């Protein structure tokens, strides 16, 4: 696991309460590549905003840390030969006068680490993948790139179920409608209002007919409150931290029990929402990619693709991520 050291923690000066800090990562990261991955891989959502400042490229979004809302910005900084650096800033809601505390800063660091895969030991990933010609090809092309992940398992699950099998433009409109109408958490940062994805509890209360009025299909209007209700009814079954500790196949099978969640969504949310390290998504394009890499016919079955990918355990998620890059000729 990458060591992340917090340096130069400084409160904001002036009327805006907040803190800035620098994170030192004891490994090389390409934050520009990670932001490109976030923009283009589907891991970003409507709460993410991107920009450029004199310090470097950044992404920011509102986050709930404990019971308080903050605006979190993560900015890439120039690296040295020994370490990489990013800056984080946490801005408090205009209605709060308190500077973020140590616990909230640590939660922000953990959020950034999960979102950008800094938890991964890339040397271990390299060893796990370098067991055959296909894995060596992936390592030679893409290592040590790290994935950018979904904001979290709940946000990722909700967003993915909404977006499945519809045009991207409509998916964004539906996500915005859900946030606009059902977010129970709002914040204001420097005079600008922000909303959050609605909580599991709030989504479980939504009447399907109300979602029909927002242009959700009849099927999605049933699925979305239904999956939230199942999460509430069986909290031990759908405990995110427990799911991440299970073997990848078990975590995927449990997610697949949720209404509106099929095998692809279960694999995707496990890999990019839970940030489970050992999941390989079953998808036609990936089957063909891995088949060609293993000199197999391109129409191999999902079972055969899973067998071929099994050699990359316990880092099948990274083999999957690199295989996606190969599939799209990144």
Euclidean distance between CA atoms 58 and 54, whole angstroms: 10
* Domain boundaries for CATH 1.10.340.30 within the chain: 153-272
Burial category of 218 from C-beta neighbours within 10 Å (exposed 0-12, middle 13-18, buried 19 and up): exposed
pLDDT in tens, 161-183: 999 999 989 999 999 999 999 99
Q: Are 278 and 313 in contact (CB under 8 A)?
A: yes
- HEC per residue, 95-132: CCCCCCCHHHHHHHHHHHHHHCCCCCCHHHHHHHHCCC
Structure confidence at residue 1 (pLDDT): 59
Euclidean distance between CA atoms 83 and 26, whole angstroms: 5
Helix (H, G, I), strand (E, B) or coil at 61: strand
Residues of the chain with pLDDT under 50: none
The one-character DSSP state at 8 is E
Question: Which run of H or of E encompasses 92?
Answer: strand 84-92
Residues in contact with 30: Cβ distance below 8 Å, sequence separation at least 6, in sequence order: 145
Q: Are 93 and 104 in contact (CB under 8 A)?
A: no
Residues in contact with 326: Cβ distance below 8 Å, sequence separation at least 6, in sequence order: 137, 138, 141, 142, 289, 293
Sign of torsion over alpha carbons 56, 60, 64, 70: positive
Structure confidence at residue 183 (pLDDT): 95
pLDDT in tens, 86-97: 999 999 998 877
What token pair was written down for 161?
Answer: 């179920």
Helix (H, G, I), strand (E, B) or coil at 242: helix
Q: pTM of this prediction?
A: 0.93
Residues in contact with 253: Cβ distance below 8 Å, sequence separation at least 6, in sequence order: 266
Q: Are 130 and 139 in contact (CB under 8 A)?
A: yes
Alpha helices in the chain (DSSP H): 31-40, 102-115, 122-129, 133-142, 153-163, 168-182, 200-204, 208-212, 218-233, 240-245, 248-255, 263-272, 284-293, 302-309, 316-327
Let me know if domain 153-272 sits in CATH 3.40.50.980. no
Euclidean distance between CA atoms 37 and 116, whole angstroms: 10
* Domain boundaries for CATH 3.30.530 within the chain: 4-119
- HEC per residue, 290-303: HHHHCCCCCCCCHH
Structure confidence at residue 41 (pLDDT): 80
Let me know if domain 4-119 sits in CATH 3.30.530. yes
């Amino acid at each position: 696991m990458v060591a992340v050291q917090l340096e130069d923690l400084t409160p904001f000066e002036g009327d805006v309460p907040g803190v800035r800090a620098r994170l030192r990562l004891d490994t090389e990261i390409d934050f520009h590549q990670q932001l490109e991955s976030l923009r283009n891989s589907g891991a970003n959502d409507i709460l993410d905003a991107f920009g450029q400042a004199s310090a470097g490229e950044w992404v920011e979004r509102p986050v709930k840390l404990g019971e308080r809302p903050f605006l979190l910005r993560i900015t890439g900084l120039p690296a040295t030969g020994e370490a990489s650096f990013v800056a984080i800033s946490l801005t408090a809601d205009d209605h709060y006068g308190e500077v973020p505390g140590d616990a909230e800063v640590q939660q922000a660091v953990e959020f950034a680490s999960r979102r950008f895969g800094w938890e991964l030991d890339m040397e271990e990933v390299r060893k796990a993948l370098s067991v055959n010609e296909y894995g060596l090809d992936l390592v030679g092309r893409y290592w040590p790139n790290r994935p950018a992940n979904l904001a979290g398992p709940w946000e990722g699950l909700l967003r993915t179920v909404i977006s499945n099998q519809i045009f991207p433009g409509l998916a964004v409109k539906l996500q915005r409608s859900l946030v606009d109408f059902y977010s129970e958490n709002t914040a204001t940062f420097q005079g600008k209002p922000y909303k959050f994805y609605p909580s599991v509890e709030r989504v479980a209360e939504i009447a399907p007919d109300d979602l029909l009025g927002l242009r959700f299909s009849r099927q999605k209007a049933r699925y979305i409150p239904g999956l939230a209700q199942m999460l509430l009814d069986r909290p031990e079954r759908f405990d995110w931290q427990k799911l991440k500790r299970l073997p990848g196949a078990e975590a995927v099978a449990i997610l697949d029990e949720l209404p509106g969640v099929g095998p692809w969504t279960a694999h995707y949310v496990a890999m990019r929402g839970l940030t489970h390290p050992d999941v390989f998504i079953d998808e036609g394009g990936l089957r063909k990619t891995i088949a060609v890499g293993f000199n197999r016919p391109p129409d191999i079955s999902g079972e055969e693709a899973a067998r071929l990918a099994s050699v990359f355990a316990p880092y099948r998620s990274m083999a999957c991520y690199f295989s996606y890059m190969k599939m799209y000729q990144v």
